[in-house]
Structure 1
Amino acid sequence: MTSTSFADRHIGPAESEQAKMLAECGYGSLDALVEAAVPAAIRDTRELDLPPAASEEEATAELRKLAARNRPMTQMIGLGYYDTLTPPVIRRNVLESPAWYTAYTPYQPEISQGRLEALLNFQTMVADLTGLATANASLLDESTAVAEAVLLMRRASKSRSAKVVLDAECLPQTIAVVRTRAEAVGIEVEVRDLLTGLPDEFFGVVVQYPGASGVLRGPGFYTAIGETARAAGALYCAAADLLALTMITAPGEFGADLAAGSTQRFGLPLGYGGPHAGYLSVRAGLERSLPGRLVGVSVDADGAPAYRLALQTREQHIRREKATSNICTAQVLPAVLAGMYAVYHGPDGLKRIASRVHGLAAGLATALRDGGVEVVHDGFFDTVLARVPGRAARVVADARRFGVNLGLVGDDHVRVACDEVTTPDTLRRVLLAFELEAHVTPGSGALPTGLARQSGYLTHPVFHQHRSETAMLRYLRRLSDLDYALDRGMIPLGSCTMKLNATTEMEPISWPEFAGLHPFAPAGDAEGYRELTAQLSGWLAEVTGYHTVSLQPNAGSQGELAGLLAIRAYHRANGQPEREICLIPSSAHGTNAASAVLAGMRVVVVACTEDGDVDLADLRAKVAQHADTLAAIMVTYPSTHGVYEQGIDEIARIVHGGGGQVYLDGANLNALLGLAKPGEFGGDVSHLNLHKTFCIPHGGGGPGVGPVAVREHLAPYLPNHPLHAGAGPETGVGPIAAAPFGSASILPISWAYVRMMGAAGLTSATKVAVLAANYVAARLGPHYPVLYTGEGGLVAHECILDLRPLTKQTGVTVEDVAKRLVDYGFHAPTMSFPVAGTLMVEPTESEDAGEIDRFCDAMIAIRREIDQVADGTWTLERSPLRNAPHTAELLAGEWDLPYDRKLAVYPAGVSAKGKYWPPVRRIDGAHGDRNLVCSCPPLTSYEN
């Protein structure tokens, strides 16, 4: 047994280092600093009611016991989830590699070329297979991708109708998610058998391809839908299975304007529902309407090709009061896995897998028919629907005795979905459940005549060059070497909390007992998951002071939406549907306003004072002005400006007095755990970012989990799910994600974090995070003004450095400083959020004093370089700041800059050993993407 606690491993600064840091801040103890920083009105001095901290070995043993209570079966349920084989070289060198899973969103493209190339592979794969011009860099899951497609169709359609038509063959979870999202924004959803035609007026139609029952129809059926949609001025979306698209006509070839779906079966474990990379692709002309991220090809300062996000900021698709998406994230790590699966297998390999799956399904259908069982559909890809009047439940139960989960469809039908791991022996057991003794011979001919794919796909060389494991391994290593992630050094991003993702926390996500469960498997198969989610939900409720927590939202933005939908439902249940005004401070994150609009609310902006706090006088005026229609306020605490506002309890009293609810954004919970509970100092609902405070890694920009926590009166309105009674209350607002428990397979990470830290560890982590931020502010304050501070000149867990005076004096921008930090071996802090021209720094509790000092020393050295621009030693254009980052190729070429090469690549404190070399120079932000660069609109734009 180890003698060092996990908390000591997680928290970077040792006690001696903390003493030095405290002295720099002017405090004699950690408690004295925290007492001065955190308002007494919100402090909670009670110890958190959590189990005693477990060692890493003990936590692993407990997780093993929980895992053992799960029952991985052969999963043939279908409905958009299929078992698959993750190539070991990809599992080991991507999924389990900190070089990939600890990276951040590629907003600094010069140090993100590896994952940007991997995402471009993903986009190319999706665009090729769907036959459409442009695909995004992933969405959260299939159902939310279809919901995003519906919103896109409404905005882009020429029809004036508010109706969208969903194929009755759409996945049931997709229909439910679309209904949840549509109801709040006034979209009418009609579900109909598309064989009966389409209504006279509609703005969009979604067809499932193949259908949920497995059905494939003739090509004329799919073409006719497109023709009818065009005649109505509507748009046409196919929710398509990518593996099937290797064999059947691409949606873009039969007239679809969009395609949406999941890449789960491209090597992503079932994981009880996630995380999986959804996709969305569009025809030419719709690319500017794409929600989410889009990787494009640009050039660097030397004209060399380089990748970047074509729409650079996270709020790239927020359309003010007409917002149709609050997506501010992606599923980058799952998208990389899926893209690499295609790279590994290539088009021929994918076609072989698909042909084998189809052949086994066709052989099963033949064996069933030969045995006297009716097979409903003649045309299908991988799923056979069998009609067994009155005995469907018995067949499914018998199959479970043989270790196979089948899909039960009413009293008379059984669904059997074949996949990559299906074998003839699997199908022999399936046939036994139908009381048939037979062996399956792979067949063919179950594709409708004329539907077979004729066009090529995956023609880019990357899908043909890495057939051997040696080549694949080296490709993955080459890409990861291009990138900067937490395994290299500090990523001091404010508002993002890039801290330790411990190996012990990460290991269980690969265990088959967690990875191998279908999200719609019988509840008895997931007893371990049930206990884990119940424990984690309870712990999260305890640390936040709320009554109930839903783990379903699979991103922070979805947690926001779920919380606001709960508020909306609460007011309606109280007979006050007119309460639709959402107050949002002018400093708020852009997704707050977008989420409010998508929850059917109208945004009214509340002013902030010069010091960044909510203007209480303006708040009182706005509450009085909207006394009869006030629904909620969304406020981030600690504030978006990185301080503990003194008036948060007063804000809550004012809003509650006006009949509204308080949505307290939990993005900055890392400054509260163990010190204060949002649910007890005024919050009615919060979303939590498990990928920030609770150690799920960012994975290059996803996965994430955004649970929503509520007080008791809002609990009846949390998300639920039509396919899992235990996923939420009967009175809930509907599902917010495709799977009942969202990205369930990564919940063991946060479970392990809380279990190993315990109450004292979590509280210590918060205190040290506050210390680290104040230490940075104290060290850098003399060189860069700290823009906002709270009582006693203190900050919370992050601080904002104001570069605007220096920019005005010298022309040096935050971008210049960010790129120069690369030469010093750092990822930049958050640029120009929440205030343009500033840097927001969050050191977290996991960085030791040596790394924090290295960062501060680099920033101070950069300030000296800025001074040399100011005094005329260099012109800005020929300074190391404007020419950063400096590459090895630049160093090896002709040198005509007025500073020496050593200063360029080995500036103060940078050692030649372990030097990170950026692969490209500064990237042109506009070239190659037609200036698709927009920033989050100011909150004042919501006023009207």
Structure 2
Amino acid sequence: MNSPSNDSRATGQRIEPLIFDFSSPGRIGASLPALDVPEAPLPLDFLRRAADLPLPEVAEIDVMRHFLRLSQKNHSIDTGFYPLGSCTMKYNPKVHEKAARLPGFTGLHPLQPADSAQGAMQLMFELQVYLAEISGFAAVSLQPAAGAQGELSGVLMMRNYLYDQGETQRTKILVPDSAHGTNPASTTMAGLQAVEIPSDARGNVDLGALKTQLDSIGHEVIGLMLTNPNTLGLFDENVLEVIRLVQAAGGLVYGDGANFNAILGITKPGELGFDVMHFNLHKTFTTPHGGGGPGSGPVGCSEALAPYLPGPVVAVRARNGDEEDIDLVWYMPQYSIGRVKSFAGNFGMLVRAYTYIRMLGEEGLRAVSQNAVLNANYLQARLKGAYPIPHGDRTCMHEFVAQGILEEAPTIHTMDIAKRLMDFGYHPPTVYFPLIVREALMIEPTETESRETLDGFVETLLQIKEEAIANPQLLKEAPHTTPVGRLDEVRAARELKLCATAAKPG
């Protein structure tokens, strides 16, 4: 495993020291006012350490420069193209940040009485209505804090609904092999068993395999979790028949809305027949994404499942029976699966998504999907013939899956291509996913990138192919310009080194 050189001249990269290496005894970063009360020691019950905590002693300017330099080492959507397939890493307009930081929102406390937070609750109520309208569902809960938590909520809602109908023998969820990886995990967390359904040659759910499973275990099936468009970047051509077959067997159909960015304003899952679906606000509706969060995964559902939504949700209440005199209240649906997040979800993310919807409107939201699909098909068309594209005979949606397989360079793999992309300042696309495509290279440009950016990315991939043929070792040893070179990832996982060392500042 290579380690970075402390000599910045060797790589052209400054190796940033630890904050402790800037420390000097007596140096301070803030001047506090004199105490206006008598000094007193902490109560003994509060003391948990035998010695003082060894914090660095640094000046404010050193702290500011240190963390700014660290931030500049990260690749971000603000600094470069970020074509992660299935993740929709699109630009987050800064006006959203301004809206989320309005004092009336940031000054709220989650335990305030509802009558003192009516403005925030109105925003949440309207967002519930907007998401329901956009998706074609009867009701929405904003509770879940991430897509996977939205998934779990939906599966629990389906399970509880059917169990309340006396269908307690149903313990299985059908999951296509083109689904997101969190689907089987959510199924297992709900205490249920995932049953895989294969894809057909065109990338759709295999109807024959689905019928076979339903004929065999249909009475045990709670439902099917369908990612549509799926992780191959394809809209299932048989989606209506898939839904009909599952519901005819007494099951429900869950829609994984992680790829909603491809059909926004064009197709309403609720009108297609889906029973429940989660939205990834941190994908489709541009709230910040990455770094572990914060996310937001609201759930929409049919009228039959609405009483099972996680709560609380925001509801309208007439005062003293007067329909014109109303206020907003917290409401727990009758058969709710309960809270899945403290308080009312990730409120800052809700403000951002609300701002996005209000700014774009109906036509703008539709244009989002149209441009995302256009950009993906443009990339697919330009790369066709240079890299294998398993379903390149179909129009893709917002993303597509190529393969890092080059006949002229048989020793090269997807990982080599991804690592070489980093030398050109690009974040690599998603690699080795979906698992059903060998050497997968999953590319999602989103609607926010210009044709010039897409052309630059294509030209780089074409250059990398030429390099792979002429000098495969160049790719095998990539990246060459990053602070850390190619890692032995297996060894790094097995031999963890959690104690950092760094150069002294200078």
Shared fold (TM-score greater than 0.5)? yes
Question: Which of 471, 493, 500 is the aligned partner of 1:929?
Answer: 493
Deviations 1:320-347 (A, max 9, x none): xxxxxxxxxxxxxxxxxxx99xx99x9x
SS at match of 1:610: coil
Q: Paired residue for 1:577?
A: 168
Deviations 1:216-247 (A, max 9, x none): xxxxxxxxxxxxxxxxxxxxxxxxxxxxxxxx
Verify: 1:477 aligned to 2:71, yes or no: no
Counting only pairs closer than 5 Å after superposition, residues 858-937 of structure 1 correspond to structure 2 as: 858-868=460-470, 874=471, 876=472, 879-887=473-481, 918-930=482-494
SS at match of 1:603: strand
Deviations 1:862-914 (A, max 9, x none): 1111221xxxxx3x3xx321121113xxxxxxxxxxxxxxxxxxxxxxxxxxx
Tell me the amino acid that sits aligned with residue 812 of structure 1. I
Q: Paired residue for 1:88?
A: none
Question: Which of 265, 279, 286 is the aligned partner of 1:674?
Answer: 265
Q: Structure 1 CA distance, aligned partners of 2:415 and 2:384?
A: 19
Compute the displacement of 1:678 (Å). 0.7
Question: Which of 110, 113, 116 is the aligned partner of 1:522?
Answer: 113
Given that 2:418 and 2:429 are in contact with CA atoms closer than 8 Å, whether structure 1 keeps it comes out as yes
Deviations 1:28-75 (A, max 9, x none): xxxxxxxxxxxxxxxxxxxxxxxxxxxxxxxxxxxxxxxxxxxxxxxx
Compute the displacement of 1:801 (Å). 0.7
Q: Structure 2 CA distance, aligned partners of 1:718 and 1:679?
A: 15
Identity of aligned residues (%): 39
Q: Structure 1 CA distance, aligned partners of 2:251 and 2:141?
A: 22
Q: Structure 2 CA distance, aligned partners of 1:571 and 1:815?
A: 44
Q: Paired residue for 2:47?
A: 452
Q: Which runs of 5+ in 2 are unaligned?
A: 8-17, 316-328, 497-506
Q: Paired residue for 1:300?
A: 2
Deviations 1:272-301 (A, max 9, x none): xxxxxxxxxxxxxxxxxxxxxxxxxxx536
Deviations 1:675-718 (A, max 9, x none): 10111112111111011000001143311101111111111011
Tell me the amino acid that sits aligned with residue 823 of structure 1. D
Q: Paired residue for 1:188?
A: none
Given that 2:128 and 2:141 are in contact with CA atoms closer than 8 Å, whether structure 1 keeps it comes out as yes
Are residues 561 and 304 of structure 1, via their aligned partners in 2, closer, same or farther at CA, if it must alter by over 3 Å? farther
Verify: 1:829 aligned to 2:421, yes or no: no
Question: Which of 243, 254, 268 is the aligned partner of 1:652?
Answer: 243
Question: Which of 622, 637, 643 is the aligned partner of 2:228?
Answer: 637
Are residues 445 and 849 of structure 1, via their aligned partners in 2, closer, same or farther at CA, if it must alter by over 3 Å? closer
Q: Structure 1 CA distance, aligned partners of 2:257 and 2:203?
A: 18
Q: Paired residue for 1:554?
A: 145
Tell me the amino acid that sits aligned with residue 924 of structure 1. D
Q: Structure 2 CA distance, aligned partners of 1:711 and 1:814?
A: 42
Are residues 811 and 681 of structure 1, via their aligned partners in 2, closer, same or farther at CA, if it must alter by over 3 Å? same
Tell me the amino acid that sits aligned with residue 64 of structure 2. L
Are residues 621 and 844 of structure 1, via their aligned partners in 2, closer, same or farther at CA, if it must alter by over 3 Å? same
Question: Which of 388, 396, 417 is the aligned partner of 1:785?
Answer: 388
Given that 1:550 and 1:728 are in contact with CA atoms closer than 8 Å, whether structure 2 keeps it comes out as no
Compute the displacement of 1:641 (Å). 0.8
Q: Structure 1 CA distance, aligned partners of 2:202 and 2:221?
A: 26
Compute the displacement of 1:769 (Å). 0.6
Question: Which of 835, 853, 856 is the aligned partner of 2:455?
Answer: 853
Compute the displacement of 1:922 (Å). 1.8
Q: Paired residue for 1:820?
A: 420
Verify: 1:592 aligned to 2:183, yes or no: yes
Given that 2:180 and 2:231 are in contact with CA atoms closer than 8 Å, whether structure 1 keeps it comes out as yes
Verify: 1:464 aligned to 2:56, yes or no: yes
Tell me the amino acid that sits aligned with residue 162 of structure 2. H
Verify: 1:804 aligned to 2:405, yes or no: yes
Q: Structure 2 CA distance, aligned partners of 1:522 and 1:600?
A: 36
Higher helix share: 1
Q: Structure 2 CA distance, aligned partners of 1:629 and 1:639?
A: 25
Tell me the amino acid that sits aligned with residue 818 of structure 1. A
Compute the displacement of 1:486 (Å). 1.2
Tell me the amino acid that sits aligned with residue 49 of structure 2. Q
Given that 1:637 and 1:666 are in contact with CA atoms closer than 8 Å, whether structure 2 keeps it comes out as yes
Tell me the amino acid that sits aligned with residue 413 of structure 2. T
Deviations 1:578-634 (A, max 9, x none): 222100112222210010111121111112223322111110111121222210100
Q: Structure 1 CA distance, aligned partners of 2:395 and 2:47?
A: 66
Deviations 1:392-437 (A, max 9, x none): xxxxxxxxxxxxxxxxxxxxxxxxxxxxxxx99xxxxxxxxxxxxx
Are residues 721 and 539 of structure 1, via their aligned partners in 2, closer, same or farther at CA, if it must alter by over 3 Å? closer
Given that 2:144 and 2:299 are in contact with CA atoms closer than 8 Å, whether structure 1 keeps it comes out as yes
Is the radius of gyration larger for structure 1 or structure 2? 1
Q: Structure 2 CA distance, aligned partners of 1:592 and 1:717?
A: 20
Q: Structure 2 CA distance, aligned partners of 1:699 and 1:730?
A: 35
* CA RMSD across the alignment: 3.0
Are residues 931 and 716 of structure 1, via their aligned partners in 2, closer, same or farther at CA, if it must alter by over 3 Å? farther
Tell me the amino acid that sits aligned with residue 819 of structure 1. K
Compute the displacement of 1:458 (Å). 5.5
Given that 1:925 and 1:931 are in contact with CA atoms closer than 8 Å, whether structure 2 keeps it comes out as no
Q: Paired residue for 1:709?
A: 300
Q: Structure 1 CA distance, aligned partners of 2:288 and 2:50?
A: 39
Given that 2:225 and 2:254 are in contact with CA atoms closer than 8 Å, whether structure 1 keeps it comes out as yes
Tell me the amino acid that sits aligned with residue 853 of structure 1. D
Counting only pairs closer than 5 Å after superposition, residues 117-132 of structure 1 correspond to structure 2 as: none
Q: Structure 2 CA distance, aligned partners of 1:805 and 1:634?
A: 34
SS at match of 2:174: strand
Given that 1:720 and 1:730 are in contact with CA atoms closer than 8 Å, whether structure 2 keeps it comes out as no
Q: Structure 1 CA distance, aligned partners of 2:333 and 2:118?
A: 19
Verify: 1:617 aligned to 2:208, yes or no: yes
Tell me the amino acid that sits aligned with residue 338 of structure 2. G
Verify: 1:764 aligned to 2:367, yes or no: yes
Q: Structure 2 CA distance, aligned partners of 1:723 and 1:781?
A: 49
Counting only pairs closer than 5 Å after superposition, residues 183-194 of structure 1 correspond to structure 2 as: none
Q: Paired residue for 2:318?
A: none
Tell me the amino acid that sits aligned with residue 858 of structure 1. T
Tell me the amino acid that sits aligned with residue 474 of structure 2. P
Tell me the amino acid that sits aligned with residue 396 of structure 2. V
Q: Structure 1 CA distance, aligned partners of 2:163 and 2:40?
A: 55
Deviations 1:62-89 (A, max 9, x none): xxxxxxxxxxxxxxxxxxxxxxxxxxxx
Counting only pairs closer than 5 Å after superposition, residues 330-341 of structure 1 correspond to structure 2 as: none
Given that 1:774 and 1:795 are in contact with CA atoms closer than 8 Å, whether structure 2 keeps it comes out as yes
- Poorly superposed stretches of 4+, deviation over 3 Å: 301-305, 440-448, 455-459, 721-725, 804-807
Compute the displacement of 1:804 (Å). 3.4
Are residues 850 and 727 of structure 1, via their aligned partners in 2, closer, same or farther at CA, if it must alter by over 3 Å? farther
Q: Which runs of 5+ in 1 are unaligned?
A: 1-298, 306-338, 354-422, 425-439, 869-873, 888-917, 933-944
Q: Structure 1 CA distance, aligned partners of 2:183 and 2:72?
A: 36
Q: Structure 2 CA distance, aligned partners of 1:568 and 1:511?
A: 40
Q: Structure 1 CA distance, aligned partners of 2:476 and 2:171?
A: 48
SS at match of 2:218: coil
Q: Structure 1 CA distance, aligned partners of 2:168 and 2:117?
A: 39
Tell me the amino acid that sits aligned with residue 638 of structure 1. P
SS at match of 1:614: coil
SS at match of 1:665: strand
SS at match of 2:441: strand
Q: Structure 2 CA distance, aligned partners of 1:595 and 1:826?
A: 32
Q: Structure 2 CA distance, aligned partners of 1:301 and 1:817?
A: 21
Compute the displacement of 1:727 (Å). 5.0
Verify: 1:507 aligned to 2:101, yes or no: no
